[in-house]
Amino acid sequence: MRKEPLSIGVVIPAYDRQNDLATALGSVRSQTLPPDRIVVVDDCSNPPLSLPGWAVADSRVQLIRLPENAGAAAARQAGINALDTTHIAFLDADDMWRSDKLQRQISHLATLPDPERTTIVCGWRLVSRDNRTLAYRLPRASHSLADFCSGCWFSPGSTALLPRAMLIDVGGFDQRLRRLEDFDLFLRLAINGGTLAVAPFFGADIRKGQNAHRADVDPAASYLRAKFLTGRSAVTLGGLERRFDSWLSVEEAAAAYNDRCFGRFLSRMLYSLALVPRRSIQLGDWWETLKGDAELVQL
């Protein structure tokens, strides 16, 4: 069978971030390996988002507006549905890429033994809302289901490049989720034999997001427990149910803390630690945290 030539589509979900969107799009435009398609999904912003002039004139760029605000999972899935490229990269509207991000990821992808089943990510610079550097992070590669039962530690979505066929095989994003959608997706990818590779460079600036709250996290955690811990789906976790539940409890604890519900915060953290005893909030040592450019150069 003749192999389809590699092509890249970029999905940018956006909600009420007109200025940020222009910056994110500019970082895609400046890629040394230009993408074949760019889909901006306006998640029913008010007022509606508009594209900068160069993007309006660029036949690669498409703007989709959802009829109602549906959340990041639904917006990303709308972008997936609009693309027919072999690979898809995601970029949140308040993040941006370094100019060689796609080129270096594709170069690394060519060295891997099973690229059709591999998500490739890279390191990132975590920045504050006023653009101060908070940390540099480089995740480690994994093919372990236990790792993916342990939270969304490996990568912000804005660093990920995935085969579109693999996304379609697992059903894409679960549009019923307004939180924890990446955790859910990558767990399903791992269950279906997907692996995570890491291109060893820092390719994105990731804006520190807003704190999560119980109104979004608690329903998402309950839904995911029903999805993976009951019925036939529970078999697919292969005895890792306690690890999975432990991380969901951390997410619930963090949301409770942000909402100043300190009793619930304590109870969910104690429950998490009882399920997986440990000395840190994270269930493992997932990435190296760097604090400055000097250390970055030495890596």
Q: Which secondary structure element, helix H or strand E, spans residue 216, and what is its range?
A: helix 214-229
Instruction: Work out the percent of the chain whose per-residue pLDDT is above 70.
Output: 94
Coil vs helix vs strand at 278:
coil
* H or E element that contains 206: strand 195-207
Q: What is the mean pLDDT of residues 138-156?
A: 90
pLDDT in tens, 241-264: 999 999 999 999 999 999 999 999
What is the overall mean pLDDT for the chain? 92
Give yes or no for a contact between 105 and 28, defined as CB atoms under 8 angstroms apart. Answer: no
β-bridge mates for residue 290, sequence order: 136
- Asked if 65 and 44 count as a contact pair (C-beta separation under 8 A), the reply is yes
CA 239 to centroid of chain Cα atoms: 25
Each residue's pLDDT tens digit, 154-189:
877 899 999 999 999 999 999 999 999 999 999 999
pLDDT tens-digit series, residues 91-138: 999 999 999 999 999 999 999 999 999 999 999 999 988 889 998 999
Among candidate residues 205, 24, 10, 20, the one with its CA nearest the CA of residue 123: 205
Three-state SS at 60: coil
- Enumerate the domain spans of the chain: 214-275
Q: How confident is the model at residue 298 (pLDDT cuts 50, 70, 90)?
A: very low
291: confidence class by pLDDT, cuts 50, 70, 90 = low
What is the structure's pLDDT at 1?
46
Say whether the peptide bond before residue 34 is cis (omega within 30 degrees of 0). no
Does the pLDDT at position 218 exceed 60?
yes
pLDDT, tens digit, 9 for 90 and up, residues 4-53: 799 999 999 999 989 999 999 999 999 999 999 999 999 999 999 999 99
Q: Is 57 exposed, middle or buried (0-12, 13-18, 19+ CB in 10 A)?
A: exposed
pTM of the entire predicted model: 0.92
The 10s digit of each residue's pLDDT in 263-274 is 999 999 999 999
